[in-house]
Amino acid sequence: MANKDELQRTEAHGGLAAETPFGYAPSRESTDIVRIEPRYDLFIGGDWVEPRSGTWFETISPATEEPLSRVAEAGPEDVDLAVAAAREASDERWRELPGRERARFLYRIARALQERSREFAVLETMDGGKPIKESRDVDLPLAAAHFFYYAGWADKLDYAFPGRLPRPLGVAGQVIPWNFPLLMAAWKIAPALATGNTVVLKPAETTPLTALLLADVIQEADLPPGVVNIVTGAGRTGSFLVGHHGIDKVAFTGSTDVGKVIQRAVAGTGKRLTLELGGKAANIVFEDAALDQAVEGIVNGIYFNQGHVCCAGSRLLVQEAVAETLVERLKARLSTLRVGDPLDKNTDVGAINSSQQLRRIEELVESGIQDGAEIYQPPCDLPERGYWFPPTLFTGVTQSHRIAREEIFGPVLSILTFRTPEEAVEKANNTPYGLSAGVWTEKGSRILWMASRLRAGVIWANTFNRFDPSSPFGGYKESGFGREGGLHGLEPYLAWNGGGAR
């Protein structure tokens, strides 16, 4: 029983509310911690180098459309220089460096990311539009952990692959997307460096700033010049890089369409290739699932990072008996999501990354309506400037609808139903993609039964969108090939000496 004081406080509280209705008090993260240069050059051979192309492009905040900085656009000559710097660093400094020495640099980078995590998180949110809550609690801790994890592998590679003696490939060309800019840089750079390769990294054109700040960390860590080179630019720069004859390996994360273009470009060159591409993941809820927990998992599965997630749980498959209840609770939960200023610590759904992506989402949502699915969007006030899309769900979706087949890469959930586990498996696998899937049930045996039948590289049971540096990530089918993270994430960066054909 509450004591008298508490009762009095409650009364006072209620009284206040009656007089002045609760307004929302934003809790905005300060941007003072971040210093953005008015202009960024290319990071080549350990130095900042003006682009030979002579061009710079603007990077803006998608939440305000305000310009943040101008960033160099690397042309063919610039990519040449970066690849040459990476090659020289590989031959002269890095490849022969003992693993324990390489490890020291990676540990330094991991520590620096931890120390400067808030600065990075704020910058990530400013440049990309994701909620500060996520960049602070997900992107940054995971990026630092990734460097720390792979640092430990650098001097243990001889134990990783039974019967094989590893050696580095040489120079890796890496192209990363805009949805997890720093984290993807970490996923690419950490295993490459741990295995003795040098890299040329091309960040996405809408989110280059945290990769450029990482260059600062790399300089502070005294990493030998040329081991990591960062060339900014758009798709053209990326195509110069992946098509460059001086690289030994291409690693790409992005859309399946671009992945296919890259696979064609690499054809016949003998370059090693890994692709982490799109997805249309099924998130499958059985009638025995803990529904409130499932609702949170569904929200995390599709509205996390505005749905700009390749492994997003964009197709919800619900067992018929609980479909109505679940959709009801989901709609109620959607209405409590806070959409808006990504720098506000309470924001759940931030800004759409670019106007181009916003148009794509709008187009697909329109197709969903045209195809006859029923749309639901909670009432929410969207800021006037910036790129925004409210959390959206569709019921009455069939497998032939575009919103059930194509990757939307936005906060849009398509809901389908099923009766039996077999039907759930069939529907879940009915896609050219195969990156991830979710299963919600209280029955452990069913989790493993489902897991063994779902054709996807990552299966989350009673959770979704969870990552760990020790846990391999990557797709089946048209979601790509190769794994990132864990023991298996080393393999794409290694060649083998003697003993064993592969």
Partner 1 sequence: MSERLGVRKTYKLAIGGAFSRSESGRSYPVLGADGRILARAAAASRKDLREGVRAARSALAAWSAATPYNRGQVLYRVAEMMEGRRAQFVDEVGRAGGQDAEAEVDASVDRWVWYAGWSDKIHHVLGSVNPVAAPYFNFTIPEPTGVVGIVAPAEPALLGLISRLAPAIVSGNATVVLASEPRPLVAITLSEVLATSDVPAGVVNVLTGRTTELMPWLAGHMDVNAIDITGVPGHLLTKVEELCAENVKRIVRSEEANWSSDRAQSPYEVTAFMEMKTVWHPMGA
Q: Which residues are catalytic?
A: 276, 310
Nearest approach in angstroms of CB 279 to partner 1 is: 12
Rule CB under 8 A: is residue 500 a binding residue for partner 1? yes
Nearest approach in angstroms of CB 124 to partner 1 is: 21
Nearest approach in angstroms of CB 354 to partner 1 is: 25
Residue among 193, 476, 490, 494 that touches partner 1 (CB under 8 A): 476
Cα separations in angstroms, 470 against 166, 400, 462, 474: 20, 37, 19, 13
Residue among 1, 2, 25, 501 that touches partner 1 (CB under 8 A): 501
Q: Which residue has the tokens 């509205």?
A: 303
Six-digit token pair at 328?
A: 């009801």
Interstrand relation of 374-376 and 392-395 (parallel, antiparallel or unpaired): antiparallel
**Binding to partner 1 in span 351-410, by CB under 8 A:** none
d(CA 469, CA 357): 28
Asked if 106 and 193 touch (Cβ cutoff 8 Å), the reply is yes
Choice between 277 and 373, CB closer to partner 1: 277
Q: Is 277 helix (H, G, I), strand (E, B) or coil?
A: coil
Residue among 97, 165, 459, 495 that touches partner 1 (CB under 8 A): 459
Nearest approach in angstroms of CB 502 to partner 1 is: 4
Rule CB under 8 A: is residue 451 a binding residue for partner 1? yes
d(CA 151, CA 145): 10
How many C-beta atoms surround the C-beta of residue 337 within 10 A? 16
Which of 259, 242, 258 lies closest to 250, judged by CA? 242
Rule CB under 8 A: is residue 252 a binding residue for partner 1? no
Q: What is the DSSP string of 426-489?
A: HHHH-SS--SEEEEE-S-HHHHHHHHHHS-SSEEEES--S---TTS-B--SGGGEES-BSTGGG
- Enclosing H/E stretch for 418: strand 412-418
Which residues, in sequence order, are bridge partners of residue 249? 172, 272
d(CA 266, CA 159): 31
User: Candidates 54-62, 102-110, 399-407, 463-471 — which segment interacts with partner 1 by CB under 8 A?
Assistant: 463-471
Nearest approach in angstroms of CB 404 to partner 1 is: 19
* Burial class of residue 329 (count of CB atoms within 10 Å of its CB; 0-12, 13-18, 19+): middle
Cα separations in angstroms, 217 against 93, 111, 214, 280, 330: 19, 10, 5, 35, 42
Choice between 69 and 479, CB closer to partner 1: 479
Q: Which residue has the tokens 């409650």?
A: 10
Residue among 314, 397, 478, 494 that touches partner 1 (CB under 8 A): 478
Choice between 372 and 432, CB closer to partner 1: 432
Rule CB under 8 A: is residue 463 a binding residue for partner 1? yes
User: Candidates 5-13, 59-67, 105-113, 455-463 — which segment interacts with partner 1 by CB under 8 A?
Assistant: 455-463
Nearest approach in angstroms of CB 428 to partner 1 is: 14
Nearest approach in angstroms of CB 225 to partner 1 is: 34
Binding marks (x or -) toward partner 1, 30..59, rule CB under 8 A?
Answer: ------------------------------
Asked if 106 and 147 touch (Cβ cutoff 8 Å), the reply is yes
Rule CB under 8 A: is residue 145 a binding residue for partner 1? yes
Nearest approach in angstroms of CB 402 to partner 1 is: 19
User: Candidates 13-21, 121-129, 423-431, 451-459 — which segment interacts with partner 1 by CB under 8 A?
Assistant: 451-459
User: Candidates 308-316, 362-370, 385-393, 479-487 — which segment interacts with partner 1 by CB under 8 A?
Assistant: 479-487
Residue among 23, 38, 162, 379 that touches partner 1 (CB under 8 A): 162
Choice between 70 and 488, CB closer to partner 1: 488
Nearest approach in angstroms of CB 294 to partner 1 is: 12
Asked if 459 and 440 touch (Cβ cutoff 8 Å), the reply is no
Cα separations in angstroms, 261 against 2, 200, 238, 241: 66, 19, 11, 13
Rule CB under 8 A: is residue 430 a binding residue for partner 1? no
Six-digit token pair at 127?
A: 């440049």
Helix/strand/coil percent split, the chain, to 5: 45, 20, 40
Asked if 251 and 59 touch (Cβ cutoff 8 Å), the reply is no
Tell me how many residues contact partner 1 (CB under 8 A).
52
**Binding to partner 1 in span 253-282, by CB under 8 A:** 256, 259-261, 263-264, 266-268, 275, 277
Choice between 72 and 289, CB closer to partner 1: 289
Residue among 120, 387, 473, 493 that touches partner 1 (CB under 8 A): 473
Which residues would be at the binding site for partner 1 (CB under 8 A)? Answer: 145, 161-164, 256, 259-261, 263-264, 266-268, 275, 277, 432, 444, 447-448, 451-452, 456-463, 466, 468, 470-474, 476-481, 483, 486-488, 498-502
